[in-house]
Structure 1
Amino acid sequence: MPDVDLDPVIHAPARLRVVATLAALSTGDELSFPTLQKLLAMTAGNLSTHLRKLEDAGYVRVTKTHEGRTPATYLALTPRGRAAFEDYTTALNTLLRGAGA
């Protein structure tokens, strides 16, 4: 069995879904909070909690702005977040290949 460490920040199922969704965007692209919330079928509070952990780890950039008088929040993976997700998927693939051996 290979000795593989899975990033605990990403490994939580809800955070993995967030990171995987944001990783599907092109570098530099952002997704609005409501759009991500709808895509993942998460409550605003639950999504906010997971985004805070990802932001604290430096994996997600949260941009708060206004569109007219309405507050708007946009989300994107940072370069560090993309690298962490790539490392995570590599480690997971290694683990899965080792488990079948």
Structure 2
Amino acid sequence: MDPLFDEFLHVPARLSVVALLVPADQVDFRLIRDTIGTSDSALSKQVSALAAAGYVTVRKDQDKRARRTYVQLTPAGRQAFQRHAAALERIVALARTPADPPTSDEPAAT
């Protein structure tokens, strides 16, 4: 296994959250929920796990109408995502690399 492959981050819900956060400064919890298509409780569980790992921070604000929760990627989370993405790209590249051609002693595959 590639040493940069992050088993913790590879959980689909976590990877989706972090990928959504990469291009943004911070993202509203509701937007994350709606974009990845999950429930509040399921997203809360994944965001809590990401926060415990140091990959995200969570900030709660009160505006005039409602309480808002914002999620932000930490520098450690950004680095973890970049390393994991690089590991996935290497795995995919290996799958796309054609096999070595058969030697003269080996029959060609048909």
Return the TM-score normalized by structure 1: 0.87
**1:9, CA displacement in angstroms?**
1.7
Identity of aligned residues (%): 35
Question: Match for residue 107 of structure 2?
Answer: none
**1:24, CA displacement in angstroms?**
2.4
Structure 2 counterpart of 1:30, one-letter code: Q
Question: Match for residue 43 of structure 2?
Answer: 47
**1:51, CA displacement in angstroms?**
0.4
More helix by share: 1
**1:40, CA displacement in angstroms?**
1.1
Question: Contact (CA 8 Å) 1:23, 1:82: kept in 2 or not?
Answer: yes
Rg comparison, structure with higher value: 2
Question: Match for residue 93 of structure 2?
Answer: 97
Moved runs in structure 1, 4+ residues, more than 4 A? none
For residue 63 of structure 1, the aligned residue among 46, 50, 59 is 59
**1:68, CA displacement in angstroms?**
2.9
Count of residues in Structure 1 that have an aligned counterpart in Structure 2: 96
In 2, the alpha carbon distance for the partners of 1:10 and 1:55 equals 12
Question: Match for residue 8 of structure 2?
Answer: 9
For structure 1, which runs of at least 5 residues remain unmatched after alignment?
none
| RMSD (CA atoms) | 1.4
Which SS does the other structure have where 1:10 is aligned? Answer: coil
Residue by residue, what CA displacement relative to the aligned partner does 1:8-66 show, whole Å, maximum 9, x if unpaired? Answer: 221001111101111122xxx11111111111111000000000110011001101121
In 1, the alpha carbon distance for the partners of 2:68 and 2:93 equals 42
In 2, the alpha carbon distance for the partners of 1:23 and 1:81 equals 9
In 1, the alpha carbon distance for the partners of 2:13 and 2:79 equals 19
